[in-house]
Chains A and B, each alone.
Chain A
Protein backbone atom coordinates (compact mmCIF):
# COMPACT_ATOMS: atom_id res chain seq x y z
CA UNK A 1 0.00 0.00 0.00
CA UNK A 2 2.71 2.48 0.99
CA UNK A 3 4.65 1.54 -2.10
CA UNK A 4 1.66 2.40 -4.26
CA UNK A 5 1.24 5.77 -2.56
CA UNK A 6 4.93 6.58 -2.99
CA UNK A 7 4.72 5.55 -6.62
CA UNK A 8 1.67 7.76 -7.15
CA UNK A 9 3.43 10.72 -5.55
CA UNK A 10 6.51 10.21 -7.72
CA UNK A 11 4.38 9.94 -10.87
CA UNK A 12 2.43 13.08 -9.92
CA UNK A 13 5.68 14.96 -9.28
CA UNK A 14 7.08 13.92 -12.64
CA UNK A 15 3.89 14.92 -14.45
CA UNK A 16 3.86 18.31 -12.75
CA UNK A 17 7.52 18.81 -13.63
CA UNK A 18 6.90 18.00 -17.29
CA UNK A 19 3.89 20.32 -17.41
CA UNK A 20 5.83 23.23 -15.92
CA UNK A 21 8.69 22.85 -18.41
CA UNK A 22 6.26 22.43 -21.29
CA UNK A 23 4.50 25.66 -20.30
CA UNK A 24 7.77 27.51 -19.96
CA UNK A 25 8.72 26.39 -23.47
CA UNK A 26 5.37 27.52 -24.87
CA UNK A 27 5.77 30.89 -23.19
CA UNK A 28 9.24 31.39 -24.61
CA UNK A 29 8.10 30.35 -28.06
CA UNK A 30 5.27 32.87 -27.92
CA UNK A 31 7.70 35.56 -26.88
CA UNK A 32 9.85 34.74 -29.90
CA UNK A 33 6.76 34.95 -32.11
CA UNK A 34 5.75 38.25 -30.58
CA UNK A 35 9.24 39.70 -31.05
CA UNK A 36 9.17 38.54 -34.66
CA UNK A 37 5.86 40.24 -35.30
CA UNK A 38 7.40 43.46 -33.97
CA UNK A 39 10.09 43.23 -36.65
CA UNK A 40 7.53 42.29 -39.25
CA UNK A 41 5.41 45.37 -38.56
CA UNK A 42 8.42 47.62 -39.10
CA UNK A 43 9.57 45.78 -42.23
CA UNK A 44 6.08 46.19 -43.73
CA UNK A 45 6.16 49.85 -42.81
CA UNK A 46 9.45 50.25 -44.64
CA UNK A 47 8.05 48.50 -47.72
CA UNK A 48 5.10 50.89 -47.67
CA UNK A 49 7.33 53.94 -47.42
CA UNK A 50 9.57 53.06 -50.35
CA UNK A 51 7.15 53.76 -53.26
CA UNK A 52 6.47 57.22 -51.81
CA UNK A 53 10.15 57.89 -51.42
CA UNK A 54 10.94 56.84 -54.98
CA UNK A 55 8.09 58.97 -56.28
CA UNK A 56 9.44 62.04 -54.48
CA UNK A 57 13.03 61.42 -55.46
CA UNK A 58 12.32 60.58 -59.14
CA UNK A 59 11.85 64.14 -60.26
CA UNK A 60 15.20 65.22 -58.87
CA UNK A 61 17.50 62.27 -59.43
CA UNK A 62 17.72 61.69 -63.14
CA UNK A 63 21.08 59.94 -63.12
CA UNK A 64 20.62 57.37 -60.37
CA UNK A 65 18.34 55.02 -62.25
CA UNK A 66 20.18 51.83 -61.25
CA UNK A 67 20.03 52.63 -57.54
CA UNK A 68 16.28 53.11 -57.76
CA UNK A 69 15.87 49.91 -59.78
CA UNK A 70 17.86 48.04 -57.15
CA UNK A 71 15.65 49.39 -54.40
CA UNK A 72 12.51 48.26 -56.25
CA UNK A 73 14.03 44.85 -56.93
CA UNK A 74 15.18 44.17 -53.36
CA UNK A 75 11.90 45.43 -52.00
CA UNK A 76 9.92 42.86 -53.96
CA UNK A 77 12.45 40.15 -53.05
CA UNK A 78 12.08 41.04 -49.37
CA UNK A 79 8.30 40.95 -49.63
CA UNK A 80 8.41 37.47 -51.19
CA UNK A 81 10.91 36.01 -48.71
CA UNK A 82 9.57 33.17 -46.59
CA UNK A 83 12.13 32.02 -44.02
CA UNK A 84 13.83 34.23 -41.45
CA UNK A 85 17.20 33.72 -43.15
CA UNK A 86 15.91 34.70 -46.60
CA UNK A 87 14.17 37.70 -45.18
CA UNK A 88 17.26 38.85 -43.30
CA UNK A 89 19.33 38.61 -46.47
CA UNK A 90 16.87 40.50 -48.68
CA UNK A 91 16.29 43.19 -46.07
CA UNK A 92 20.04 43.58 -45.70
CA UNK A 93 20.38 44.20 -49.44
CA UNK A 94 17.50 46.67 -49.31
CA UNK A 95 19.15 48.58 -46.46
CA UNK A 96 22.35 48.74 -48.48
CA UNK A 97 20.59 50.15 -51.53
CA UNK A 98 18.76 52.74 -49.41
CA UNK A 99 22.09 53.71 -47.90
CA UNK A 100 23.50 54.32 -51.38
CA UNK A 101 20.53 56.49 -52.19
CA UNK A 102 21.24 58.57 -49.10
CA UNK A 103 24.82 59.15 -50.17
CA UNK A 104 23.66 60.33 -53.57
CA UNK A 105 21.12 62.73 -52.06
CA UNK A 106 24.10 64.87 -51.05
CA UNK A 107 24.50 65.92 -54.69
CA UNK A 108 20.97 67.31 -54.94
CA UNK A 109 20.55 70.42 -52.77
CA UNK A 110 17.02 71.04 -54.03
CA UNK A 111 15.95 67.59 -52.93
CA UNK A 112 17.53 68.09 -49.51
CA UNK A 113 15.41 71.18 -49.03
CA UNK A 114 12.16 69.48 -50.08
CA UNK A 115 9.82 69.28 -47.05
CA UNK A 116 8.09 66.19 -48.33
CA UNK A 117 11.41 64.41 -48.78
CA UNK A 118 12.63 65.44 -45.34
CA UNK A 119 9.49 64.04 -43.73
CA UNK A 120 9.88 60.75 -45.63
CA UNK A 121 13.55 60.66 -44.74
CA UNK A 122 12.71 60.98 -41.04
CA UNK A 123 10.11 58.20 -41.27
CA UNK A 124 12.55 55.93 -43.07
CA UNK A 125 15.39 56.58 -40.61
CA UNK A 126 13.07 55.91 -37.70
CA UNK A 127 11.75 52.73 -39.30
CA UNK A 128 15.29 51.44 -39.83
CA UNK A 129 16.13 52.21 -36.21
CA UNK A 130 12.99 50.40 -35.09
CA UNK A 131 13.95 47.40 -37.23
CA UNK A 132 17.38 47.24 -35.64
CA UNK A 133 16.05 47.62 -32.08
CA UNK A 134 13.35 45.04 -32.74
CA UNK A 135 15.97 42.72 -34.22
CA UNK A 136 18.00 43.05 -31.04
CA UNK A 137 15.09 42.04 -28.84
CA UNK A 138 14.07 39.25 -31.23
CA UNK A 139 17.58 37.78 -31.09
CA UNK A 140 17.56 38.04 -27.29
CA UNK A 141 14.32 36.07 -27.16
CA UNK A 142 15.61 33.46 -29.63
CA UNK A 143 18.71 33.03 -27.49
CA UNK A 144 16.61 32.35 -24.36
CA UNK A 145 14.38 29.93 -26.23
CA UNK A 146 17.20 28.03 -27.94
CA UNK A 147 19.13 27.78 -24.66
CA UNK A 148 16.10 26.24 -23.01
CA UNK A 149 15.70 23.72 -25.81
CA UNK A 150 19.34 22.65 -25.68
CA UNK A 151 19.78 22.46 -21.92
CA UNK A 152 19.04 19.51 -19.66
CA UNK A 153 16.40 18.57 -18.57
CA UNK A 154 14.17 20.75 -20.74
CA UNK A 155 15.80 19.32 -23.89
CA UNK A 156 14.05 15.98 -23.23
CA UNK A 157 10.62 17.58 -23.06
CA UNK A 158 11.43 19.78 -26.05
CA UNK A 159 12.35 16.66 -28.02
CA UNK A 160 9.18 14.84 -26.89
CA UNK A 161 6.85 17.64 -28.03
CA UNK A 162 8.86 18.60 -31.07
CA UNK A 163 9.98 22.12 -30.15
CA UNK A 164 12.37 23.33 -32.83
CA UNK A 165 15.16 25.85 -32.49
CA UNK A 166 14.49 29.27 -34.01
CA UNK A 167 16.71 31.12 -36.42
CA UNK A 168 18.50 34.34 -35.48
CA UNK A 169 17.79 37.41 -37.55
CA UNK A 170 21.29 38.26 -38.70
CA UNK A 171 22.53 40.48 -41.44
CA UNK A 172 25.06 38.40 -43.38
CA UNK A 173 27.46 41.01 -44.56
CA UNK A 174 29.17 43.23 -42.00
CA UNK A 175 29.18 46.09 -44.48
CA UNK A 176 25.41 46.15 -44.71
CA UNK A 177 25.16 46.68 -40.99
CA UNK A 178 27.05 49.92 -41.18
CA UNK A 179 24.95 53.02 -41.28
CA UNK A 180 26.37 55.29 -43.93
CA UNK A 181 27.89 58.42 -42.49
CA UNK A 182 25.88 61.10 -44.22
CA UNK A 183 24.71 64.46 -43.08
CA UNK A 184 21.27 65.72 -43.95
CA UNK A 185 21.52 69.09 -42.36
Chain B
Protein backbone atom coordinates (compact mmCIF):
# COMPACT_ATOMS: atom_id res chain seq x y z
CA UNK B 1 0.00 0.00 0.00
CA UNK B 2 2.87 2.34 0.80
CA UNK B 3 4.43 1.48 -2.54
CA UNK B 4 1.19 2.50 -4.20
CA UNK B 5 1.44 5.99 -2.73
CA UNK B 6 5.07 6.18 -3.85
CA UNK B 7 4.22 5.14 -7.40
CA UNK B 8 1.39 7.64 -7.43
CA UNK B 9 3.80 10.35 -6.38
CA UNK B 10 6.27 9.49 -9.13
CA UNK B 11 3.53 9.49 -11.71
CA UNK B 12 2.28 12.83 -10.40
CA UNK B 13 5.73 14.37 -10.69
CA UNK B 14 5.83 13.52 -14.40
CA UNK B 15 2.46 15.11 -14.99
CA UNK B 16 3.36 18.15 -12.91
CA UNK B 17 6.49 18.67 -14.98
CA UNK B 18 4.42 18.43 -18.18
CA UNK B 19 1.84 20.90 -16.87
CA UNK B 20 4.53 23.19 -15.45
CA UNK B 21 6.44 23.19 -18.74
CA UNK B 22 3.27 24.10 -20.61
CA UNK B 23 2.65 26.94 -18.18
CA UNK B 24 6.21 28.30 -18.49
CA UNK B 25 6.24 27.97 -22.27
CA UNK B 26 2.95 29.81 -22.46
CA UNK B 27 4.27 32.58 -20.21
CA UNK B 28 7.46 32.86 -22.20
CA UNK B 29 5.81 33.21 -25.59
CA UNK B 30 3.09 35.56 -24.43
CA UNK B 31 5.71 37.75 -22.76
CA UNK B 32 7.70 37.68 -25.98
CA UNK B 33 4.65 38.70 -27.97
CA UNK B 34 4.04 41.73 -25.75
CA UNK B 35 7.60 42.94 -25.34
CA UNK B 36 10.01 42.04 -28.11
CA UNK B 37 13.15 42.77 -26.06
CA UNK B 38 13.63 40.12 -23.40
CA UNK B 39 9.90 40.04 -22.73
CA UNK B 40 9.92 36.26 -22.62
CA UNK B 41 11.37 36.27 -19.14
CA UNK B 42 8.93 38.88 -17.90
CA UNK B 43 6.11 36.65 -19.12
CA UNK B 44 7.70 33.64 -17.47
CA UNK B 45 7.97 35.55 -14.23
CA UNK B 46 4.32 36.63 -14.32
CA UNK B 47 3.15 33.09 -15.08
CA UNK B 48 5.09 31.84 -12.05
CA UNK B 49 3.68 34.57 -9.80
CA UNK B 50 0.09 33.83 -10.79
CA UNK B 51 0.63 30.13 -10.25
CA UNK B 52 2.40 30.75 -6.93
CA UNK B 53 -0.37 32.92 -5.51
CA UNK B 54 -3.11 30.48 -6.53
CA UNK B 55 -1.15 27.58 -5.04
CA UNK B 56 -0.55 29.30 -1.72
CA UNK B 57 -4.20 30.27 -1.41
CA UNK B 58 -5.39 26.76 -2.17
CA UNK B 59 -2.82 25.14 0.10
CA UNK B 60 -3.94 27.11 3.12
CA UNK B 61 -7.65 27.34 2.46
CA UNK B 62 -8.42 24.94 -0.37
CA UNK B 63 -10.54 22.61 1.77
CA UNK B 64 -12.28 25.51 3.46
CA UNK B 65 -13.23 26.96 0.09
CA UNK B 66 -14.40 23.56 -1.14
CA UNK B 67 -16.49 23.00 2.00
CA UNK B 68 -17.94 26.50 1.83
CA UNK B 69 -18.91 26.20 -1.83
CA UNK B 70 -20.55 22.82 -1.25
CA UNK B 71 -22.48 24.12 1.77
CA UNK B 72 -21.28 21.23 3.93
CA UNK B 73 -21.71 21.44 7.71
CA UNK B 74 -19.65 19.67 10.32
CA UNK B 75 -21.80 17.37 12.46
CA UNK B 76 -21.48 15.47 15.72
CA UNK B 77 -21.95 11.74 16.17
CA UNK B 78 -25.53 12.18 17.44
CA UNK B 79 -26.69 13.40 14.03
CA UNK B 80 -25.82 10.17 12.26
CA UNK B 81 -24.08 7.55 14.43
CA UNK B 82 -23.83 5.05 11.58
CA UNK B 83 -21.93 7.43 9.33
CA UNK B 84 -19.49 8.19 12.14
CA UNK B 85 -18.97 4.50 12.84
CA UNK B 86 -18.33 3.76 9.19
CA UNK B 87 -15.81 6.58 8.86
CA UNK B 88 -13.99 5.23 11.91
CA UNK B 89 -14.05 1.69 10.48
CA UNK B 90 -12.44 2.94 7.29
CA UNK B 91 -9.89 4.92 9.26
CA UNK B 92 -8.81 1.64 10.87
CA UNK B 93 -8.90 -0.31 7.60
CA UNK B 94 -6.79 2.31 5.82
CA UNK B 95 -4.55 2.98 8.88
CA UNK B 96 -5.08 6.73 8.66
CA UNK B 97 -3.36 8.67 11.46
CA UNK B 98 -6.59 10.39 12.53
CA UNK B 99 -10.32 10.03 11.99
CA UNK B 100 -11.44 12.39 9.20
CA UNK B 101 -13.97 15.04 10.16
CA UNK B 102 -17.52 14.28 9.07
CA UNK B 103 -19.61 16.82 7.16
CA UNK B 104 -23.15 16.54 5.84
CA UNK B 105 -24.50 18.52 2.89
CA UNK B 106 -28.22 19.27 3.07
CA UNK B 107 -29.11 18.26 -0.45
CA UNK B 108 -31.36 15.68 -2.03
CA UNK B 109 -28.92 14.57 -4.72
CA UNK B 110 -26.84 11.62 -3.47
CA UNK B 111 -23.11 12.33 -3.63
CA UNK B 112 -19.95 12.54 -1.55
CA UNK B 113 -16.45 14.01 -1.59
CA UNK B 114 -13.28 14.06 0.43
CA UNK B 115 -10.92 16.95 0.99
CA UNK B 116 -7.84 17.82 3.02
CA UNK B 117 -4.33 18.31 1.72
CA UNK B 118 -2.84 16.33 4.60
CA UNK B 119 -4.23 12.97 5.78
CA UNK B 120 -4.15 14.35 9.34
CA UNK B 121 -6.63 17.11 8.51
CA UNK B 122 -8.99 15.38 6.15
CA UNK B 123 -12.73 15.70 5.73
CA UNK B 124 -15.34 13.30 4.39
CA UNK B 125 -18.57 14.98 3.26
CA UNK B 126 -21.77 13.25 2.16
CA UNK B 127 -25.21 14.56 1.21
CA UNK B 128 -28.38 13.86 3.19
CA UNK B 129 -29.82 12.27 0.07
CA UNK B 130 -27.00 9.75 0.05
CA UNK B 131 -27.52 8.82 3.70
CA UNK B 132 -31.23 8.23 3.18
CA UNK B 133 -30.83 6.10 0.06
CA UNK B 134 -27.98 3.77 0.94
CA UNK B 135 -27.80 0.83 3.31
CA UNK B 136 -24.87 0.23 5.62
CA UNK B 137 -22.70 -1.73 3.18
CA UNK B 138 -23.27 0.73 0.37
CA UNK B 139 -22.45 3.69 2.58
CA UNK B 140 -19.30 1.88 3.67
CA UNK B 141 -18.29 1.45 0.04
CA UNK B 142 -18.72 5.17 -0.63
CA UNK B 143 -16.82 6.22 2.49
CA UNK B 144 -14.04 3.74 1.61
CA UNK B 145 -13.75 5.31 -1.84
CA UNK B 146 -13.44 8.78 -0.29
CA UNK B 147 -10.92 7.63 2.32
CA UNK B 148 -8.89 6.08 -0.52
CA UNK B 149 -8.68 9.50 -2.15
CA UNK B 150 -7.19 10.80 1.09
CA UNK B 151 -4.75 7.89 1.51
CA UNK B 152 -3.64 7.93 -2.14
CA UNK B 153 -3.03 11.70 -1.79
CA UNK B 154 -5.47 12.37 -4.62
CA UNK B 155 -6.86 15.44 -2.89
CA UNK B 156 -3.44 17.07 -2.72
CA UNK B 157 -2.63 16.09 -6.24
CA UNK B 158 -5.92 17.05 -7.86
CA UNK B 159 -5.90 20.38 -6.06
CA UNK B 160 -2.48 21.35 -7.36
CA UNK B 161 -3.00 19.92 -10.83
CA UNK B 162 -6.27 21.85 -10.91
CA UNK B 163 -4.41 25.02 -9.92
CA UNK B 164 -1.91 24.55 -12.75
CA UNK B 165 -4.74 23.96 -15.18
CA UNK B 166 -6.53 27.02 -13.83
CA UNK B 167 -3.42 29.19 -14.23
CA UNK B 168 -2.95 28.03 -17.82
CA UNK B 169 -6.58 28.74 -18.69
CA UNK B 170 -6.47 32.11 -16.95
CA UNK B 171 -3.30 33.31 -18.67
CA UNK B 172 -4.44 32.15 -22.13
CA UNK B 173 -7.83 33.76 -21.73
CA UNK B 174 -6.40 37.11 -20.61
CA UNK B 175 -3.94 37.07 -23.51
CA UNK B 176 -6.50 36.14 -26.18
CA UNK B 177 -8.98 38.72 -24.93
CA UNK B 178 -6.39 41.48 -24.81
CA UNK B 179 -5.56 40.66 -28.43
CA UNK B 180 -9.22 40.86 -29.33
CA UNK B 181 -9.66 44.29 -27.80
CA UNK B 182 -6.48 45.91 -29.02
CA UNK B 183 -6.90 44.29 -32.42
CA UNK B 184 -3.18 43.58 -32.52
CA UNK B 185 -2.46 47.12 -33.76
CA UNK B 186 0.12 47.83 -31.09
CA UNK B 187 2.15 44.85 -32.10
CA UNK B 188 2.08 45.44 -35.83
CA UNK B 189 3.30 49.01 -35.49
CA UNK B 190 6.11 47.90 -33.24
CA UNK B 191 7.11 44.93 -35.31
CA UNK B 192 7.50 46.96 -38.47
CA UNK B 193 11.17 47.32 -37.52
CA UNK B 194 14.06 44.95 -38.18
CA UNK B 195 12.97 42.00 -36.04
CA UNK B 196 9.50 42.02 -37.57
CA UNK B 197 9.61 38.55 -38.94
CA UNK B 198 10.87 36.93 -35.76
CA UNK B 199 8.33 38.90 -33.76
CA UNK B 200 5.54 37.68 -36.02
CA UNK B 201 6.59 34.07 -35.50
CA UNK B 202 6.62 34.53 -31.72
CA UNK B 203 3.19 36.14 -31.96
CA UNK B 204 1.75 33.25 -33.93
CA UNK B 205 3.36 30.75 -31.57
CA UNK B 206 1.90 32.58 -28.58
CA UNK B 207 -1.60 32.56 -30.09
CA UNK B 208 -1.33 28.89 -31.01
CA UNK B 209 -0.11 28.03 -27.51
CA UNK B 210 -2.84 30.11 -25.88
CA UNK B 211 -5.48 28.21 -27.84
CA UNK B 212 -4.01 24.73 -27.60
CA UNK B 213 -2.42 24.50 -24.16
CA UNK B 214 -5.64 24.79 -22.12
CA UNK B 215 -7.14 21.94 -24.16
CA UNK B 216 -4.04 19.83 -23.81
CA UNK B 217 -3.75 20.50 -20.10
CA UNK B 218 -7.43 19.65 -19.60
CA UNK B 219 -7.10 16.34 -21.40
CA UNK B 220 -4.06 15.45 -19.29
CA UNK B 221 -5.88 16.46 -16.12
CA UNK B 222 -9.05 14.56 -16.94
CA UNK B 223 -7.22 11.42 -18.01
CA UNK B 224 -5.42 11.22 -14.69
CA UNK B 225 -8.58 12.13 -12.79
CA UNK B 226 -10.36 9.15 -14.36
CA UNK B 227 -7.48 6.84 -13.54
CA UNK B 228 -7.57 7.97 -9.95
CA UNK B 229 -11.25 7.17 -9.70
CA UNK B 230 -10.51 3.58 -10.71
CA UNK B 231 -7.64 3.45 -8.25
CA UNK B 232 -9.86 4.72 -5.45
CA UNK B 233 -12.43 2.05 -6.34
CA UNK B 234 -9.70 -0.59 -6.15
CA UNK B 235 -8.56 0.63 -2.73
CA UNK B 236 -12.15 0.81 -1.52
CA UNK B 237 -12.59 -2.85 -2.41
CA UNK B 238 -9.45 -3.74 -0.53
CA UNK B 239 -10.53 -1.83 2.57
CA UNK B 240 -14.13 -3.05 2.72
CA UNK B 241 -13.52 -6.49 1.19
CA UNK B 242 -16.99 -6.15 -0.27
CA UNK B 243 -17.11 -4.92 -3.91
CA UNK B 244 -20.88 -5.30 -4.16
CA UNK B 245 -21.42 -2.51 -1.60
CA UNK B 246 -19.70 0.13 -3.72
CA UNK B 247 -21.19 -1.29 -6.94
CA UNK B 248 -24.77 -1.00 -5.80
CA UNK B 249 -24.08 2.39 -4.20
CA UNK B 250 -22.79 3.70 -7.53
CA UNK B 251 -25.88 2.36 -9.25
CA UNK B 252 -28.16 4.09 -6.80
CA UNK B 253 -26.27 7.35 -7.04
CA UNK B 254 -26.40 7.35 -10.83
CA UNK B 255 -30.07 6.42 -10.81
CA UNK B 256 -31.17 9.90 -9.81
CA UNK B 257 -31.44 12.75 -12.24
CA UNK B 258 -31.17 15.47 -9.60
CA UNK B 259 -28.27 17.88 -10.02
CA UNK B 260 -26.24 18.76 -6.99
CA UNK B 261 -27.07 22.46 -6.66
CA UNK B 262 -23.91 23.41 -4.83
CA UNK B 263 -21.47 21.79 -7.26
CA UNK B 264 -19.86 23.53 -10.20
CA UNK B 265 -17.39 22.73 -12.96
CA UNK B 266 -14.38 23.38 -10.75
CA UNK B 267 -15.46 21.25 -7.81
CA UNK B 268 -16.99 18.45 -9.91
CA UNK B 269 -13.85 16.25 -10.07
CA UNK B 270 -13.83 16.03 -6.27
CA UNK B 271 -17.11 14.11 -6.02
CA UNK B 272 -17.50 10.32 -6.14
CA UNK B 273 -19.82 10.58 -9.14
CA UNK B 274 -19.95 13.56 -11.49
CA UNK B 275 -22.54 15.81 -9.78
CA UNK B 276 -23.42 17.62 -12.99
CA UNK B 277 -25.50 15.41 -15.22
CA UNK B 278 -24.84 15.93 -18.92
CA UNK B 279 -27.91 17.60 -20.34
CA UNK B 280 -29.09 16.63 -23.79
CA UNK B 281 -25.78 15.64 -25.32
CA UNK B 282 -23.63 12.78 -24.22
CA UNK B 283 -20.34 13.87 -22.75
CA UNK B 284 -17.44 12.46 -24.67
CA UNK B 285 -15.17 10.12 -22.75
CA UNK B 286 -12.07 12.26 -23.25
CA UNK B 287 -13.46 15.32 -21.53
CA UNK B 288 -15.16 13.72 -18.56
CA UNK B 289 -13.61 13.71 -15.12
CA UNK B 290 -15.15 10.41 -14.10
CA UNK B 291 -15.18 7.05 -15.83
CA UNK B 292 -18.63 5.87 -16.93
CA UNK B 293 -20.49 4.45 -13.94
CA UNK B 294 -21.73 1.39 -15.79
CA UNK B 295 -18.14 0.46 -16.45
CA UNK B 296 -17.08 1.01 -12.83
CA UNK B 297 -19.98 -1.19 -11.71
CA UNK B 298 -19.14 -3.90 -14.25
CA UNK B 299 -15.55 -4.02 -13.02
CA UNK B 300 -16.63 -4.18 -9.38
CA UNK B 301 -19.12 -6.96 -10.11
CA UNK B 302 -16.49 -8.80 -12.16
CA UNK B 303 -14.14 -9.18 -9.20
CA UNK B 304 -13.80 -12.78 -8.17
CA UNK B 305 -11.58 -14.68 -5.83
CA UNK B 306 -10.41 -11.92 -3.54
CA UNK B 307 -10.39 -8.25 -2.68
CA UNK B 308 -6.75 -7.36 -3.26
CA UNK B 309 -5.45 -4.98 -5.93
CA UNK B 310 -4.54 -7.83 -8.26
CA UNK B 311 -8.16 -9.01 -8.26
CA UNK B 312 -9.37 -5.55 -9.23
CA UNK B 313 -6.72 -5.31 -11.94
CA UNK B 314 -7.87 -8.65 -13.39
CA UNK B 315 -11.50 -7.56 -13.44
CA UNK B 316 -10.45 -4.23 -14.96
CA UNK B 317 -8.60 -5.94 -17.81
CA UNK B 318 -11.51 -8.28 -18.43
CA UNK B 319 -14.05 -5.46 -18.71
CA UNK B 320 -11.83 -3.06 -20.65
CA UNK B 321 -10.40 -5.92 -22.78
CA UNK B 322 -6.95 -4.43 -22.36
CA UNK B 323 -3.69 -5.23 -20.71
CA UNK B 324 -3.08 -1.76 -19.37
CA UNK B 325 -1.56 -1.45 -15.93
CA UNK B 326 -3.93 0.53 -13.83
CA UNK B 327 -2.21 -0.30 -10.60
CA UNK B 328 1.55 0.19 -10.46
CA UNK B 329 3.35 -3.14 -10.43
CA UNK B 330 4.66 -2.47 -6.92
CA UNK B 331 1.07 -2.42 -5.68
CA UNK B 332 0.47 -5.82 -7.22
CA UNK B 333 3.32 -7.47 -5.33
CA UNK B 334 1.20 -7.17 -2.23
CA UNK B 335 -0.26 -10.59 -2.93
CA UNK B 336 -1.78 -11.34 0.45
CA UNK B 337 -4.97 -13.26 -0.06
CA UNK B 338 -7.80 -11.08 1.12
CA UNK B 339 -11.13 -12.83 1.06
CA UNK B 340 -14.36 -11.13 0.09
CA UNK B 341 -16.70 -10.97 3.05
CA UNK B 342 -20.38 -11.60 3.14
CA UNK B 343 -22.66 -8.60 3.13
CA UNK B 344 -25.22 -7.84 5.76
CA UNK B 345 -28.18 -7.56 3.47
CA UNK B 346 -30.55 -4.78 4.38
CA UNK B 347 -32.09 -3.60 1.15
CA UNK B 348 -33.20 -0.02 0.71
CA UNK B 349 -35.34 0.47 -2.36
CA UNK B 350 -34.05 2.36 -5.37
CA UNK B 351 -35.31 5.89 -5.74
CA UNK B 352 -37.00 8.03 -3.14
CA UNK B 353 -40.01 6.50 -1.44
CA UNK B 354 -41.94 8.04 1.40
CA UNK B 355 -39.78 6.47 4.10
CA UNK B 356 -36.42 7.55 2.67
CA UNK B 357 -37.84 11.02 2.04
CA UNK B 358 -38.83 11.33 5.68
CA UNK B 359 -35.49 9.97 6.80
CA UNK B 360 -33.71 12.49 4.60
CA UNK B 361 -35.80 15.30 6.07
CA UNK B 362 -34.86 14.16 9.58
CA UNK B 363 -31.17 14.12 8.73
CA UNK B 364 -31.36 17.62 7.28
CA UNK B 365 -33.13 18.87 10.40
CA UNK B 366 -30.54 17.26 12.66
CA UNK B 367 -27.77 18.91 10.66
CA UNK B 368 -29.55 22.21 11.30
CA UNK B 369 -29.51 21.44 15.03
CA UNK B 370 -33.17 20.56 15.45
CA UNK B 371 -33.87 18.30 18.42
CA UNK B 372 -36.43 15.51 18.50
CA UNK B 373 -38.88 14.30 21.14
CA UNK B 374 -40.80 11.10 20.69
CA UNK B 375 -44.24 11.62 22.22
CA UNK B 376 -46.11 8.68 23.70
CA UNK B 377 -48.94 9.21 21.22
CA UNK B 378 -46.54 8.26 18.42
CA UNK B 379 -45.81 11.74 17.14
CA UNK B 380 -42.20 12.79 16.60
CA UNK B 381 -41.96 16.42 17.64
CA UNK B 382 -39.23 18.39 15.86
CA UNK B 383 -37.96 21.39 17.79
CA UNK B 384 -36.06 24.13 15.96
CA UNK B 385 -32.81 25.33 17.60
CA UNK B 386 -34.26 28.79 18.29
CA UNK B 387 -37.11 27.43 20.43
CA UNK B 388 -36.22 28.84 23.85
CA UNK B 389 -39.06 27.70 26.16
CA UNK B 390 -38.35 24.90 28.62
CA UNK B 391 -41.59 23.04 28.10
CA UNK B 392 -43.71 22.24 25.10
CA UNK B 393 -47.08 20.60 24.49
CA UNK B 394 -47.57 17.84 21.97
CA UNK B 395 -49.70 19.30 19.18
CA UNK B 396 -51.59 16.04 18.76
CA UNK B 397 -52.35 14.79 22.28
CA UNK B 398 -51.41 17.77 24.45
CA UNK B 399 -48.86 16.01 26.65
CA UNK B 400 -46.26 18.23 28.24
CA UNK B 401 -42.56 17.66 27.42
CA UNK B 402 -39.29 19.10 28.71
CA UNK B 403 -37.23 20.53 25.90
CA UNK B 404 -34.02 20.33 27.92
Q: Could you tell me the dominant secondary structure of chain A's interface residues?
A: helix
Which chain B residue has the least Cβ–Cβ distance from A42?
B92
Closest 8 CB pairs of A and B: A126-B85, A133-B93, A185-B346, A133-B92, A129-B89, A179-B342, A183-B346, A134-B92
| Chain A stretch 76-102: residues in CB contact (< 8 A) with chain B | none
A143 touches B336 (CB 8 A): yes
B82 touches A122 (CB 8 A): yes
B89 touches A185 (CB 8 A): no
- Which one, B239, B338, B344, B374, contacts A182 given CB within 8 A? B344
A122 touches B344 (CB 8 A): no
Which chain A residue has the least Cβ–Cβ distance from B239?
A133
| Chain A stretch 103-157: residues in CB contact (< 8 A) with chain B | 115, 119, 122-123, 125-126, 129-130, 132-134, 136-137, 140, 143
Q: Which residues of A contact B (CB under 8 A)?
A: 38, 115, 119, 122-123, 125-126, 129-130, 132-134, 136-137, 140, 143, 178-179, 181-185
Q: Which residues of B contact A (CB under 8 A)?
A: 81-82, 85-86, 88-90, 92-93, 95, 135-136, 140, 239, 336, 338, 341-348, 374
Given A122-B81, A122-B85, A126-B86, A136 contacting B93 (CB threshold 8 A):
yes
B341 touches A183 (CB 8 A): no
Q: A122 CA to B85 CA in the complex, in Å?
A: 8
Which chain A residue has the least Cβ–Cβ distance from B88?
A130
Hey, which chain A residues are within 8 Å of B336, CB to CB?
A: 140, 143
Given A122-B85, A130-B89, A143-B336, A184 contacting B346 (CB threshold 8 A):
yes
Which chain A residue has the least Cβ–Cβ distance from B89?
A129
Q: Can you list 30 residue pairs at the A/B interface with Cβ under 8 Å?
A: A38-B92, A115-B374, A119-B81, A122-B82, A123-B81, A125-B85, A125-B136, A125-B344, A126-B86, A126-B89, A129-B140, A130-B88, A133-B90, A134-B92, A136-B93, A137-B92, A137-B95, A178-B342, A179-B344, A181-B343, A181-B344, A181-B345, A182-B345, A183-B344, A183-B346, A184-B344, A184-B346, A185-B135, A185-B346, A185-B347
Hey, which chain A residues are within 8 Å of B82, CB to CB?
A: 122, 126
Hey, which chain B residues are within 8 Å of A185, CB to CB?
A: 135, 346-348
Q: A176 CA to B338 CA in the complex, in Å?
A: 17
A123 touches B347 (CB 8 A): no
Hey, which chain B residues are within 8 Å of A133, CB to CB?
A: 89-90, 92-93, 239
- How far in angstroms is the closest Cβ of chain A from B340? 11
Hey, which chain B residues are within 8 Å of A143, CB to CB?
A: 336
- Which one, A115, A130, A183, A184, contacts B92 given CB within 8 A? A130
Which chain B residue has the least Cβ–Cβ distance from A115?
B374
Given A184-B346, A185-B346, A126 contacting B93 (CB threshold 8 A):
no
